[in-house]
Chains A and B, each alone.
Chain A
Amino acid sequence: AAVAAQLSLSLAECPGTGSAQAGRAAACQGCPNQGMCAAGAAGPDPAEAAELRARLRAVRHTVLVLSGKGGVGKSTFSALLAHGLAADETKQVALLDIDICGPSIPKMMGLEGEQVHQSGSGWSPVYVEENLGVMSVGFLLSSPDDAVIWRGPKKNGLIKQFLRDVDWGEVDYLIVDTPPGTSDEHLSIVQYLSATHIDGAVIVTTPQEVSLQDVRKEINFCRKVKLPIIGVVENMSGFVCPKCKNESQIFPPTTGGAEKMCQNLNVSLLGKVPLDPQIGKSCDRGQSFLAEAPESPATLSYRNIIQRIQEYCEQHHSQEEKIM
């Protein structure tokens, strides 16, 4: 006899192995880790939380770059956001790549082959410019093709180290590039960064429904963990042929694209960036697309978006100062 089985997974969230609810929440039922979590520490290690707070005290603004969907341009956007913000030499920018399995940032920033050095004050970020420092698991691999085949807990451990052991110094903007999904890395970064404060998340998508359906989940994730959403960026939004100047929709927005989704979900659309083959080329060569193609419509879009993000962060900061 066939019995309908609608499994209710919408409330099934892991509270976090370090949380006070670990092993005790409703979602823990049936999790193979439940016993371990329930028997473990009552909550996050206060000494650890204090360590993270101390390390991140000198970080003024933190922006997470998320998607849900893979291959939409998170790392590309993170790299260009970092370059864009660092163009102001008075600003100190840090780019943290927490995509442990597929770290793209070293290559995109032209830093392949670089290694992380340790000093008395911790791990040293790799500097692209004097005011732009980068950290990624990519710098810890002996060969760029080495696969990091780690389960969640090990990935979480490294992310914690990136925040605790890296000597970022005084930072105006910390940008965190993430892998696709809503899993360990995302839960952990939100948990660990609660030691400082996160200005918000920039969510990247492409116009197609297959991307948007993952991005809606990411928006729900942000709401669940109370992460403010700065806005959505729609990448690969149209292609203008350099020869005939005709515009084509390579990824047609069959359900209205990011614009419709943002309207429906009441989030800000920060901008749409057209496809420009130079973007991929610049990324492959580790160069800033904004510097290599200053006249491209895509560059104009990126710059507008970066400015909006800056304005959001500055406004947020001055509001906080008023409160304090």
Chain B
Amino acid sequence: TLAERTNLAGVQHILLVLSGKGGVGKSTLSTELALALQKAGKRVGILDVDLCGPSIPRMLRVQDSAVHQCDSGWVPVFVGQDKAIALMSIGFLLERPDDAVVWRGPKKNALIKQFVTDVAWGDLDFLIVDTPPGTSDEHISTVEALRPYRLLGAILVTTPQ
């Protein structure tokens, strides 16, 4: 659809932050990378596809924000200095922050597709996609949904052990 082609059309580079292993610092790196790029004058967005354990909203201190809708879809939450970082996370869609999202694969896949095609990102130099640990539904669906767009590549995070 036109909307699908519009929502990511203004994004120059898409970066995936992956690991396999949990707790190695994917979300931390995604956040710091976004902040550093923004400081360097780039327009940045973060898409948090960790549906069970979304960490990005708290890391950027916007955990109490809400998502609004507009004609082209969902409006990302703007954070950072000058509100210049665009963010989308399931964390913003929970009624209460401690609510568990207890979903099986198919439902997770449907939301991830929406996150990729229905968020009105606007013009971004970089969209950083933070992922949960593993090589499963979230990862397969994210890569599949991002295939038609400018996927630059993946950064893999680990610890020494």
Residues of chain A whose beta carbon lies under 8 Å from any beta carbon of chain B: 1-10, 12-14, 16-17, 27, 30-33, 68-72, 100-102, 147-153, 155, 179-184, 186-187, 206, 209-211, 213-214, 216-221, 224-225, 280, 283-284
A155 to B24, CA, bound (A): 23
Q: When each residue 57-84 of chain B gets 1 if its CB lies under 8 Å from chain A and 0 otherwise, what string results?
A: 0110000001111110011000000000
Asked whether A10 lies within 8 Å of B132 as measured between CB atoms, the reply is no
B42 at the binding interface (Cβ < 8 Å): no
* Per-residue interface assignment for chain B, residues 4 to 16, with 1 indicating a CB less than 8 Å from any chain A CB and 0 otherwise: 0000000000000
Whether A68 lies near B53 (C-beta < 8 A) is yes
Compute how far the CA of A68 lies from the CA of B66 in the bound complex, rounded to whole angstroms. 23
Interchain CB contact under 8 A, A71 and B22: yes
B52 contacts partner chain A, Cβ-Cβ < 8 Å: yes
A3 to B71, CA, bound (A): 9
**Contact across chains for B66 and A30 when beta carbons are under 8 A apart:** no
Name the distance in Å between A266's Cβ and chain B's nearest Cβ: 13
Q: Are A184 and B105 in contact (CB under 8 A)?
A: yes
Whole-angstrom distance between the alpha carbons of A5 and B69 in the complex? 6
Give min CB distance, B69 to chain A, whole Å.
4
B51: min CB distance to chain A, Å: 8
Looking at the complex, which of B33-41, B122-130, B135-143, B147-155 is the stretch in contact with chain A?
A: B135-143
**CB of B94 within 8 A of chain A?**
yes
The A contact surface, by secondary structure, is: loop
Whether A68 lies near B140 (C-beta < 8 A) is no
A101 adjacent to B98 (CB under 8 Å): no
Q: For residue B137, which residue of chain A has the nearest CB?
A: A151
User: Any chain A CB within 8 A of the CB of B93?
Assistant: yes
Query: Which residue of chain B is the closest to A221 with respect to CB atoms?
Result: B100
Number of interface residues of B (CB under 8 A): 48
Assess A210 versus B55: contact at CB under 8 Å? Given A10-B95, A10-B96, A151-B140: yes
Chain B residues within CB distance 8 Å of chain A = 20-24, 27, 52-53, 55, 58-59, 66-71, 74-75, 90, 93-110, 132-137, 139-140, 159, 161
Residues of chain B with a CB closer than 8 A to A180's CB: 22-23, 52-53, 132-133
**Is A3 touching B69 in the complex (CB atoms < 8 A)?**
yes
Q: With A71-B24, A182-B52, A183-B52 as given contacts, are A153 and B69 in contact (CB-CB < 8 Å)?
A: no
Closest to A183 in B: B52
Given A13-B102, A182-B102, A183-B105, check contact A2 B110 (CB 8 Å). no
CB-CB under 8 A for A4 and B66, given A68-B52, A69-B53, A182-B52: yes
Please tell me which one of the listed residues B55, B67, B95, B100 contacts residue A218 in the complex, with CB atoms under 8 A apart: B100
Are A70 and B133 in contact, with the CB atoms below 8 A? yes
* Nearest neighbor of B99 in chain A, beta-carbon distance: A10
- Once the chains bind, are A70 and B22 in contact (CB under 8 Å)? yes
With beta carbons under 8 angstroms apart, the residue of B20, B52, B136 that contacts A155 is B136
Docked-complex contact B140 and A217, CB < 8 angstroms: no
Interchain nearest-CB distance for B90 vs A (Å): 7
Which residues from A are CB-within-8-Å of B71? 1
Q: Are A13 and B53 in contact (CB under 8 A)?
A: no
29 contacts between A and B (CB under 8 A): A1-B71, A2-B69, A3-B69, A5-B66, A5-B74, A7-B67, A12-B107, A14-B107, A31-B107, A68-B100, A70-B22, A71-B133, A101-B20, A101-B135, A102-B22, A149-B135, A155-B136, A180-B22, A182-B100, A182-B101, A182-B102, A183-B102, A184-B105, A187-B104, A210-B27, A211-B23, A214-B52, A216-B97, A217-B98
How far does the Cβ of A145 sit from chain B's closest Cβ, in whole Å? Answer: 10
Cβ-defined contact, B93 with A3, below 8 A: no
**Do A284 and B66 touch across chains, with their CB atoms under 8 A apart?**
no
